[in-house]
Structures are given as structure tokens and as C-alpha cells.
């Protein structure tokens, strides 16, 4: 029965391919694939000579899949998602720490070895299969666990990432005071040692963050009470996210024009202001001055590779979801290079903004810039608030900075939610479709994440936040995901087959470099950096002082393994539940993949590749 079904799919697709060769098939966004990554094997109209994909959708009960109103909607959504807080608060510090301009050499190298190949792979896969992050892996059913893994990772990201937006929203509200609350010593949270003339310390700003915003407890085992002000800020941000996503890509594609572009306006304003401040030149010089000796350090290369995977938002499944709303013949190959240029260009440009301000702060305090250089939340909520408090009309510059911070994170957040919801809705067959299912699904997702986030607005919330940040969507989980994406596409599905699929979409074959990267280079880069992180693993600490208890470490590893184990567990489950010998099961899977694309690759070659991949997976485990 199953074999007959596979043969039927093959015959239906063969007819499609014949019609395409005759010039009868006009790609319209639904050319080869139905909704949810299924093949449309519907009848072909003799009069029109074309496949009625929309009719097939209607018969199956699916609504026609949305597409972007304009292609620029897709571009802006990808910019909004991939260009986020890491571009502003992580890359500049890494560049400064790892040899200034010299850091650009390994950084650019990893863009072409790992960043662009996987970025393009995820977008192209979504565009071809017309499905979210789970159903795109119907191309290799045994490895559908890749889709579940990406869903777990993006869910964790959606859960903890929004806390940064809640803090930013809180600081934005406090910026509308004539005197910034962290710039004086007459506040209830200040200690007796607080001084208003800062010489060597950020103590007042740190106390504002620690004692007022976070009201942090002594450890993970002391959750304490909820900070109601922070909880209201969290609720407000989740409401904003909900109304950005609830109507799908038609509304998201409009909102992202503002959320993706306005931060650039603010960055330009801050740069103009920054370079006019005393000490700005010294700060920028620290940022770009090359230190050639750094090229010999392994950590510099690891930092460059890790930053690429973080900033390009690879392995989360959201890029696949965004690509699934493209028209079938969209040139996603060109889009991948343009988006990579925008992403990395933003990172480099942000460094001039950040270090011009840090140079001014170091000049005002009479200290070396290394004393004030920070990355991550330390830059956003300690170093920069301290810097703007030294400027004339400080509330204006503080408000501008936190508006930029909020918008940079907001579009990354709601596109991440969109990717998660798309993957979930694609799992439901057409017969379960209901009118308001998207709105309900988005509401459930936001509510569930909000409930989990309540643990992060308590006095012990910062410890919970760090657990999620360090383990759930860490470098190791993303690298593991990216490694298997390349292996499955290149060695199970077939790199040549996928190149043919892309050529069918965009009208030409991409440069063979992409195939070489998917097959050899990128998996080696991913696994090399993964093993480096694993071998150099250090237990999590907070502020280099508080050491997490053993049970906290266990929770952290459970968060990491909850996504990483999806791949082998799903594989074992499918193999153990299938009838027949291992070779017969692999044969069925191989022929399924084979028939859904082309006939020119023999099934036995797919079986042999599948044996190798399964063997490698169990060796790694």
C-alpha cells in the first residue's frame, strides 16, 4: 500500500516535470509543492496544460498559503530578524578584543564558509517546500527531528530573549525624567558609598540595575518576589509582539518596515553625536586598530565563527518560515548575499557608534578605554547609560538609545514567534482548519512564554535568564543544528538534487561553491567549533562570583539536550516503529525522497549515503 502511494506520487510529479519542460508550467508561488511541504499530485488540465495547485489545496481543505505582498516585505523581515541586539552589543566588543581590524579577516572568511551557505540553504528550503521548519524536512523523513529541534530552540529564544526588551522598555520609560535616575545618589537603592563624580567606577549605574531593576537575590535557590514594574513592562512588550504577528505575514510585512529601518536612523544620529564628542577618535582607533599577533590565537577564530552563527540567526527555523512565504520563482540566491551584506555591514557600522561613545566616556573619566569597554547587557544597561548621563540633554540621548534597542529586539522577537507559529500550524491537516486558528495559536504561544517569563521577573530571575541564555540557545545547540542541516541536505537528500531544485526555482544553478560548502566545508567548520566549545566548557557563573549549584547545571543541560536529542531520538523512533528490515526501511525513505524530486539518481546511492549518516550520528553520540 505504501509502495503504491509512493509510485503514485512519482507519477504525478513526473507529469509536472514533463509539463515544465514543455513550457506549460508557470511558477506562481505554488508550482510544485502544496501547503505544508506536501506534493500536489492533482489533475492536470488538458485545456490549460498546467497544474491546478490552488485547486488541490481547496480539495484538501487548506487555505491558500500566504505570500508576501511585495518581495521587499521578505527582505525587511529577514533584516529585522537577523539584525538584532548581537550586532550592536556583541560584534563591536569582539572586534576590539580580538585585534581590531584584524578580526575582520576570520570574520569575513567564516561568512563565506558557514554564514551565507546555511543562510541560503534555510531560505531556499522553505521557499521550495512551502512549509515551516518542521515539514520542510519531509525531504528526508527519517531526519524530521531537525524540524522539532529548531522549534525547541526558537521557543526557548522567544521565551528568554524578550526579557532584554522588557528591561529596555523599563529604561525607556525612566528616560523620560528630567534627571536620569541612575545619574544621582539620592535614590532609595543607592548605598552610602555612592558618589556622583565617577572616577573609576560605574557603581551608581550598576546599583540601579542590580538593586532597582533586577532587585537580585543571592542565588538561584532564592527566587524571591515578583518585580511588578518589570512584569508590567514584560506584559506590554508581549502585547506588542502579539499584535505584530496575529494576522500573519500581511501585517508583519508592513510593521517590519518601521522596526527594521528606524534603528538605522537612530544609529546615524548617535554616530553624528558621538564623533563630535571629545575622545571619540581614540575610541574608534581602539576599535579598528589592527593587532596582527591575534591571528595566531585560536580563540579569535572561534569568536569569529560563533558570532556568524549567532548574528545570522541560523538553526532557528524562522528563516525557513520566512522563505516559505516567497513566490516560487523568487531569486533567493541573490537575496542571501544582499542580506548577508546588510547584516555584517550593520555590525561593523555599529562599532563606530559604540566606541565613539565609549571613547568619550573614557576621556571624561581619565581612564583607559579597556576599563569601560563592555559587551552584551553590560554595554546596553551599564556602559551606555553611564555614558549618556555625562552628555548634555542626557534624557534625549538615553531615550533615543533605548528606542533603538527596543526596535532592534522587537522585530527579531516577533519574527521568531512567527517562525514558531508557522511550524506549529503546518502540522495540522486541512480538515482541522478553523477561521481564527492563527490568532488563537499566537495567543497561546505568547501566553505560555509569558508564564515562563514570570520566573525571570523575580528577584532570582537573572539566574534563570542566564540558564536559558547559556544553554538553551547556546553556540553548541546552534552549531549542532547547523551541522546536521548541511549533512542531511547534502548527503541524505543529495546536494546535486537540491541544486537542481534551486535551479528550477530561480532559473539558474548557483555557483558550485555552495554545494562544496554544504557537503564538506561548512559541516567541518560547525563540528570544529562545536568540539572546541565542548572541550573548553566551563560551569556557568554569574558576574564571575556566584557559582550555580549542581542542580542548576542539570537544568541547563536538560535545556540544551532537549533540542539536541530531537534528531537521534526521532531517527531511532522512526526506525524502530517501521516494518521490515533496516535496509527495507531505508529503501522506502530513499525512494520517497527520490521520487519527490527527480529520477536521475539511483535509489541505492541514497541508501548508501543514509547508512553513512546514521553511522556518523551514532558515533558522535
Provide DSSP, 54-104.
HHHHHHHTPPPPP--SSHHHHHHHHHHHHSSHHHHHTHHHHHHHTTGGGGH
CA 262, CA 257: separation in Å to the nearest integer? 8
pLDDT of residue 37: 55
Which segments are annotated as binding site?
80, 82-83, 87, 311, 343, 408, 411-412
pTM of the model: 0.83
Q: Which of 60-69, 95-104, 518-527 is predicted most confidently?
A: 518-527
Q: How confident is the model at residue 600 (pLDDT cuts 50, 70, 90)?
A: very low
Which has more pLDDT, 311 or 619?
311
pLDDT of residue 56: 39
pLDDT digits (tens, 9 = 90+) for 300-335: 898 898 889 888 988 888 999 999 999 999 999 999
Which has more pLDDT, 469 or 39?
469
Mean pLDDT of 96-107: 87
Query: Are 484 and 146 within 8 A, CB to CB?
Result: yes
Axis-axis angle for helices 145-174, 566-577 (nearest 10)? 150
- CB neighbours of 241 closer than 8 A, spacing ≥ 6? 162, 410, 413, 414, 417, 446
Q: Which of 379-383, 498-502, 596-600 is predicted most confidently?
A: 498-502
Closest Cα to residue 389, out of 368, 361, 359, 354?
A: 361
pLDDT of residue 70: 86
Grid cell 522506502 in the structure block, residue: 588
pLDDT digits (tens, 9 = 90+) for 394-434: 888 888 888 988 998 898 898 899 889 988 888 876 656 67
Is the pLDDT at 178 greater than 80? The verdict is no
Which segments are annotated as binding site for Na(+)?
80, 82-83, 87, 311, 343, 408, 411-412
Closest Cα to residue 14, out of 62, 51, 53?
A: 51
CA 272, CA 80: separation in Å to the nearest integer? 23
pLDDT of residue 609: 52
CA 603, CA 599: separation in Å to the nearest integer? 9
pLDDT digits (tens, 9 = 90+) for 471-493: 988 788 999 999 999 999 999 99
3-state secondary structure 515-547: HHHHHHHHHHHHHHHHHHHHHCCCCCEECCCEE
Query: Are 264 and 408 within 8 A, CB to CB?
Result: no
407 Cα distance to chain centroid: 16
Grid cell 576621556 in the structure block, residue: 363
Grid cell 560551569 in the structure block, residue: 539
Q: How confident is the model at residue 187 (pLDDT cuts 50, 70, 90)?
A: low
Mean pLDDT of 151-178: 90
Query: Are 406 and 168 within 8 A, CB to CB?
Result: yes
Average pLDDT of every residue of the chain: 79
24 Cα distance to chain centroid: 38
CA 231, CA 74: separation in Å to the nearest integer? 33
Is the pLDDT at 26 greater than 60? The verdict is no
Closest Cα to residue 606, out of 119, 142, 41, 112?
A: 142
Mean pLDDT of 535-540: 86
Amino acid at each position: 500500500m505504501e509502495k503504491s502511494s509512493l509510485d503514485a506520487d512519482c507519477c504525478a510529479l513526473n507529469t509536472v516535470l514533463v509539463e515544465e519542460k514543455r513550457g506549460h508550467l508557470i511558477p506562481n508561488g505554488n508550482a510544485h509543492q502544496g501547503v505544508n511541504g506536501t506534493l500536489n499530485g492533482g489533475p492536470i488540465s488538458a485545456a490549460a496544460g498546467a497544474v491546478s495547485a490552488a485547486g488541490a489545496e481547496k480539495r484538501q481543505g487548506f487555505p491558500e498559503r500566504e505570500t508576501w505582498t511585495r518581495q521587499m516585505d521578505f527582505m525587511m523581515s529577514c533584516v529585522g530578524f537577523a539584525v538584532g541586539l548581537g550586532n550592536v552589543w556583541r560584534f563591536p566588543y569582539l572586534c576590539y578584543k580580538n585585534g581590531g581590524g584584524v578580526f575582520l579577516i576570520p570574520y569575513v572568511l567564516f561568512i563565506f564558509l558557514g554564514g551565507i551557505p546555511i543562510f541560503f540553504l534555510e531560505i531556499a528550503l522553505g521557499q521550495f517546500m512551502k512549509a515551516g521548519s518542521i515539514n520542510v524536512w519531509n525531504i528526508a523523513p527519517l531526519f524530521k527531528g531537525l524540524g522539532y529541534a529548531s522549534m525547541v530552540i526558537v521557543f526557548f529564544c522567544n521565551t528568554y530573549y524578550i526579557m532584554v526588551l522588557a528591561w529596555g522598555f523599563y529604561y525607556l520609560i525612566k528616560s523620560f525624567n528630567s534627571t536620569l535616575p541612575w545619574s544621582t545618589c539620592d535614590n532609595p537603592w543607592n548605598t552610602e558609598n555612592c558618589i556622583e563624580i565617577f572616577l573609576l567606577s560605574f557603581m551608581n549605574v550598576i546599583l540601579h540595575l542590580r538593586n532597582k531593576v533586577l532587585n537580585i537575590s543571592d542565588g538561584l535557590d532564592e527566587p524571591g518576589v515578583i518585580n511588578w514594574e518589570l512584569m508590567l513592562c514584560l506584559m506590554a512588550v508581549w502585547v506588542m509582539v502579539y499584535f505584530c504577528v496575529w494576522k500573519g505575514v500581511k501585517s508583519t510585512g508592513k510593521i517590519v518596515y518601521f522596526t527594521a529601518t528606524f534603528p538605522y536612523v537612530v544609529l546615524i544620529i548617535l554616530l553624528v553625536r558621538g564623533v563630535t564628542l571629545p575622545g571619540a577618535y581614540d575610541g574608534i582607533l581602539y576599535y579598528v586598530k589592527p593587532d596582527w599577533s591575534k591571528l595566531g590565537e585560536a580563540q579569535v577564530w572561534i569568536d569569529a565563527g560563533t558570532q556568524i552563527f549567532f548574528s545570522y540567526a541560523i538553526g532557528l527555523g524562522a528563516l525557513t518560515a520566512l522563505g516559505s512565504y516567497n513566490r516560487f520563482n523568487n531569486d533567493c540566491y541573490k537575496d542571501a548575499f544582499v542580506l548577508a551584506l546588510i547584516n555584517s555591514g550593520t555590525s561593523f557600522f555599529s562599532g563606530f557608534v559604540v566606541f565613539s561613545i565609549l571613547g568619550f566616556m573614557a576621556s571624561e573619566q581619565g581612564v583607559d578605554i579597556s576599563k569601560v569597554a563592555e559587551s552584551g547587557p553590560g554595554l546596553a544597561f551599564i556602559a551606555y547609560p553611564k555614558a549618556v548621563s555625562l552628555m548634555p540633554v542626557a534624557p534625549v540621548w538615553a531615550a533615543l538609545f533605548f528606542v533603538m534597542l527596543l526596535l532592534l529586539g522587537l522585530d527579531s522577537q516577533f519574527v521568531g514567534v512567527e517562525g514558531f507559529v508557522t511550524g506549529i500550524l503546518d502540522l495540522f491537516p486541512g480538515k482541522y482548519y478553523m477561521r481564527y486558528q492563527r490568532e488563537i495559536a499566537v495567543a497561546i504561544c505568547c501566553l505560555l512564554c509569558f508564564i515562563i517569563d514570570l520566573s525571570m521577573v523575580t528577584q532570582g530571575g537573572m539566574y534563570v535568564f542566564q540558564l536559558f541564555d547559556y544553554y538553551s540557545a547556546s553556540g553548541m545547540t546552534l552549531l549542532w543544528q547547523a551541522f546536521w542541516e548541511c549533512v542531511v541536505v547534502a548527503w541524505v537528500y543529495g546536494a546535486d538534487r537540491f541544486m537542481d531544485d534551486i535551479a528550477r526555482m530561480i532559473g539558474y544553478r548557483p555557483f558550485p561553491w555552495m554545494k562544496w560548502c554544504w557537503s564538506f566545508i561548512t559541516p567541518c567548520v560547525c563540528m570544529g567549533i562545536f568540539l572546541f566549545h565542548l572541550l573548553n566548557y566551563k560551569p556557568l557563573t554569574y558576574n564571575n562570583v556566584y557559582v550555580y549549584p549542581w542542580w542548576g547545571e542539570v537544568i541547563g543541560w536538560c535545556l540544551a539536550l532537549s533540542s539536541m536529542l530531537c534528531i537521534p531520538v526521532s531517527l531511532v523512533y522512526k526506525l524502530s516503529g517501521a516494518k521490515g528490515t533496516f535496509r527495507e526501511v531505508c529503501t522506502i525513505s530513499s525512494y520517497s525522497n527520490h521520487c519527490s524530486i527527480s529520477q536521475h539518481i539511483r535509489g541505492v546511492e541514497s541508501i548508501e549515503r543514509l547508512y553513512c549518516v546514521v553511522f556518523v550520528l551514532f558515533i558522535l553520540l
